[in-house]
Amino acid sequence: MAFSWKYPQHAHPSYWGPVTAQANFCEEDYILTGYIAEVINTASNLTYLLYAYHGIKSNANHKDAIFRNLPYLGIAGVGIGSSIFHATLKNYTQWCDDLSMLIATATVLHRVFTFDKSLSVTVSSGLLITLFMATFSTWHCITDELTMHSVLFGLMIATIGLKTRSIISARVSNPLIKAQVFKLCTWGSVIFVTGFAIWNVDNAICGKLTAWKRAVGMPWSFALELHGWWHVFTGAGAYIFIALVEYLTSEDAGKPLGGRFAFPVAWLVDGEAGKEKVEANGNGHANGFAKANGAVKVNRSNGKANGNVNGNAKANGMAHENGNAKKSL
């Protein structure tokens, strides 16, 4: 293929030693360099780090930034842990990848259940979750099993989903805004599931994909590294849910979504939906107060005017009586 170069016939010697990870993916190991086992699968984890950076930067001026940023630090951890794993493909670095997913999900779980609680409850809940995750992580590393990892991950995702729906119902009353919030939830799910489907295709037809990649040559073949696309899609899907949870658990809940979210959210939902109704309600309240204040001022003015008239009348009456008295004398 034009503007491409062929793959090497043999892999480079591994700097990290033999591959010992339970999971391996379709990208050829150490084919580009001996220092990184899967270059594209490693580089694509930058998606998580970019979304984490955007979220943390957006919260710079918030007083509760430390709690808002925990989920973003979680997905940053996923990006780092997954990069280490795909770069080395060692059994112990696979734990970084597996456990970072659970830790990131646990931070979101903590947020949805403690955002409206006191500081003491928030901190104590965080400590309990940390203790549980540390215990599970230790057990996971000792036993080196994957089933309970998947079960726990699925349970946490389902719990977060149910709790998020209840928060939407409780905190978003404007039907136009609520429709956009549910639309964003749907798109987040679609993006995440699409990434999962791509991952399974990568596993199912790996032999054909490898043949196609070698046929087209690099760099065009990089587009066929489907596990890398799994990172991109799940990174975007995870970010959407984390940012949405942040919105729903903050003082902005119920307001138009606006331009607070990173790409691709602006393409998926109308951030201005419901803005007209919110502004109309605000103007209505303002006009009501203005009318009420105006009425009070008018009444006060009328009262003052009536008082002045009555006062003048009394003064004139007294003067008239005094004049008549003088004449009689």
Q: What is the 3-state secondary structure (H, E, C) of the chain?
A: CCCCECCCCCCCCCCCCCCCCCCCCCCCCCCCCCCCCCHHHHHCCHHHHHHHHHHHHHCCCCCCHHHHHHHHHHHHHHHHHHHHHHHHCCHHHHHHHHHHHHHHHHHHHHHHHHCCCCHHHHHHHHHHHHHHHHHHHHHHHHHCCCHHHHHHHHHHHHHHHHHHHHHHHHHCCCHHHHHHHHHHHHHHHHHHHHHHHHHHHHHHCHHHHHHHHHHHCECHHHHHCHHHHHHHHHHHHHHHHHHHHHHHCCCCCCCCCCCCCCCCHHHHCCCCCCHHHHHHHHHHHHHHHHHHHHHHHHHHHHHHHHHHHHHHHHHHHHHHHHHHHHHHC
Q: Is residue 14 a part of any domain in this protein?
A: no
Q: Is 12 annotated as a binding residue?
A: no
Is 94 found in the same domain as 117? yes
Is 88 found in the same domain as 136? yes
Is 221 found in the same domain as 288? no
Q: Is 231 annotated as a binding residue?
A: yes
Q: Is residue 4 a part of any domain in this protein?
A: no
Q: What is the mean pLDDT of each run of 10 residues along the chain (329 residues)?
A: 86 95 94 97 97 93 88 95 96 91 94 92 94 92 85 92 92 93 92 94 95 95 96 95 93 87 88 67 48 45 47 44 40
Q: Give the model's pLDDT for residue 321.
A: 43
Matching residue, tokens 């999962």: 196
Q: Is residue 106 a part of any domain in this protein?
A: yes
Is 120 found in the same domain as 252? yes
Q: Give the model's pLDDT for residue 276.
A: 67
Q: Give the model's pLDDT for residue 278.
A: 54
Query: Which residues make beta-bridge pairs with 218?
Result: 5
Q: Which residue segment(s) compose the domain that 79 sits in?
A: 39-273
Q: Give the model's pLDDT for residue 314.
A: 46
CATH of residue 95's domain is 1.20.1070
Q: Is residue 11 a part of any domain in this protein?
A: no
Q: Is residue 18 a part of any domain in this protein?
A: no
Q: Give the model's pLDDT for residue 322.
A: 44
Cα 100 to Cα 140: distance, rounded to the nearest angstrom: 12
Is 300 found in the same domain as 266? no
Q: What angle do CA 30, 31, 37 make, to 5 degrees?
A: 25
Is 72 found in the same domain as 139? yes
> Domain total for the chain?
2
Query: Which residues make beta-bridge pairs with 5?
Result: 218
Q: Is 285 annotated as a binding residue?
A: no
Q: Is 38 annotated as a binding residue?
A: yes
Is 285 found in the same domain as 167? no
Q: Give the model's pLDDT for residue 141.
A: 87
Q: Which of 2, 78, 36, 26 is nearest to 200 (CA)?
A: 26
Q: Is residue 144 a part of any domain in this protein?
A: yes
Q: Is 140 annotated as a binding residue?
A: no
Last residue of a domain, one of 229, 258, 273: 273
